[in-house]
Structure 1
Amino acid sequence: MTAWLLDPEAIHLNHGSFGATPASVLEAQQAIRSRIEANPTRFFLEGEYQASLDEVRRVVARFVGADEAGLVFVTNATAGVNAVLRSLEPSLSPDDEILVTDHEYNACANAAVVSASRAGAVVTTAPVPFPLEDCGEVVDAVLGAVTDRTRVLLIDAVTSATGLVMPIAELAAQLEPDVRVLVDAAHAPGMIDFDVTQLGVSYVTANCHKWMCSAKGAAFLWVRPDRRDGMHHSVISHGYNGGWPSGGGHLHAQFDWTGTHDPSSWLTVPDALAAVEAMHPEGWSGVKTTIRELCLEGRRKLIEALEIEAPAPDDMIGAIASVPLPAADNSGSAIFDPLMAALRDHHGIEVPVFTWPAPPERVLRISAHLYNRPEDYDLLAKALVGELRAG
């Protein structure tokens, strides 16, 4: 684990929540910060910042299949979702609908509720089963919830609590352009093969600090060409009326500068992509294959230990996967189950246990990255069974 700063005394099976950053990337971030602090005026006002950001944009655009003109940076995928929804509020009419699934990440579902309320619109929810047999159940559930008032679909590319790779392209083919599809792809780049322009959607936002392993606080938003007019950051700044920066087109002007901030996390993304690529002899293709196979192996160990059926097919799994646990209604208010603390405190295993979709139901979610080993999941399976029997 020498490439990472992770505590060797713990078993880290929660890459999906916050990612992990290679030590070399953090060193690169500190070098960037030192360069900024040596002369902040020169860095920000004399072209160094913009040139550096544009180079990172080129690298990220190539990695995710985007055009540079449509790609901007935000601090996390939730910020990207908020920017899109805030920009869409003027186009919503009373009783229009923003559609989400019941697997939607809570923070982004909250953003949809607030934006809908400002416009007099409503948020509707498509119930997607879990466990499920195939992705057709997702397509049927979402399309079955669409009405003639549906204006926006907000959907995860990979669901957070349940770890499902969602059939985004299939849904977009049925819905766009009448229904704008906004994809929260927080987990997708670096985990699964992912090309934003091939999805056929209006908007994609994703984190760079998760599976791409950049410093924390780096994410991007991509907007399809026909959706860029009227698109603004949720923080309005100089670019709104053509102020600085003004050379990169409308979208870049809205997002590249929203006030003084630390851009070093954005600027580490090329370092992170190079560092992780070098960890596997087959580069990023090998990384994605390896972590997916490891996740599937870990899921199989848990399924066998719990004596349950697989809750989703293998082709809907990337490098995170969830398994349902026996129901346990603890308080009804906590997002994380006390079992999570027991696994950490008694066994040194960091793994999330969510109350989902509502008490008393709950799931345990594993992640896999290159610092994990098959025996990590053996230890988890043994510890989990022991805690469930004791509990």
Structure 2
Amino acid sequence: MPDDAADHARRYLIDFIDGNRGEEVARELQRTDASGRRPFDVSVASLDADLSFLTKRATLVTAKLVLSQPGGEHCYLAHREICKRCGADPDHCGPGCRYEDIRIDQLFAECDDLDRLGAYLRDCAPLLELGQLVYFPQTFRRSHLESRAPDAQSTSSPFNSVGQLELGDNPDRTLDLIVKGHRVVDVPSRDPVKARLVTPLLQLDLPMLEGTSLRDYCAILTQEGDALAATQAYLRGRMLEVDTDPDKALVQLAKLDAEIQEGVRAARAEVGRVSRRSAVQAAGAAVATVAATLVAVEGTHLAPVLGMLGAGGFFSAVLAADQYADRRGELRQRPFYLLWLLSRRSVPA
């Protein structure tokens, strides 16, 4: 029986702590030299309970989205006791460990709702597995050593280790944006490129995103890599063109919104036209394939049958099928193809 959402979230959080993933991700985000700089890797702290809106917007322009959700209640995750000498459970280690210290670890994370977080992580699993999305939890490990010696009077001093993205207060950590209520409220990294990538995208009216479930959205993005790359290239360029003056930006975004809606409509018409043509080609290829198979078996006795298929017969059908395949490849390179795919899964409000 599959575990529930809360168990899924708890396991993700514990694995994040045990694997020191916080330090690894923070090191990646600190790369600012000419050779290592990655302008489309963006770290965002969301102050909202629902992460779906931000995830579905930001991943359309980011190569990697590192998403954090600070400020929740301290949620207890696990309690562990480990023998310092052999690393085993103290109840099962050997006689030589009798008087060795025990390390006691308690793991915590900031999280108001493990069920909600677990459901989010499951929906985003395809993006998480590919590394296009990293959920960066705010975690804590509280540890201390406890002596098993018979005359021990006290334990050692507690010590804590923390895995967090600081909200702009610590220069050793990198946080690009803080988002609340579908708006960027702070830019701790002072990076104008990342701010101008994400900020206008949060203001666009994109019903094909809102009506698509997060699970479907993540599945489509990971299955359609070429289409995603085309959409990202287009949107990155358009977002960076948006004026920093609020009034001018509103006008530009209104125009862009209309352009996107028209692009999705045109993609719908184009795909419909190609699909209609493909139905005829598929039928012709099927008939020609059957005839070619019979010819291979019967030799030249069925030559008149091939003639009935029209000029070219089998080979013209194969050529038509190849042209159709190329046509579909071209469609995937269009910036609105991905948004059209999302609109097909979208459920009107």
With normalisation by structure 2, the TM-score equals: 0.21
Which is bigger in relative contact order (C-alpha 8 A, separation at least 6)? 1
Q: Computing the radius of gyration over CA atoms, which structure comes out larger, 1 or 2?
A: 2
Q: Which has the higher helix share?
A: 2
TM-score, normalised relative to structure 1: 0.20
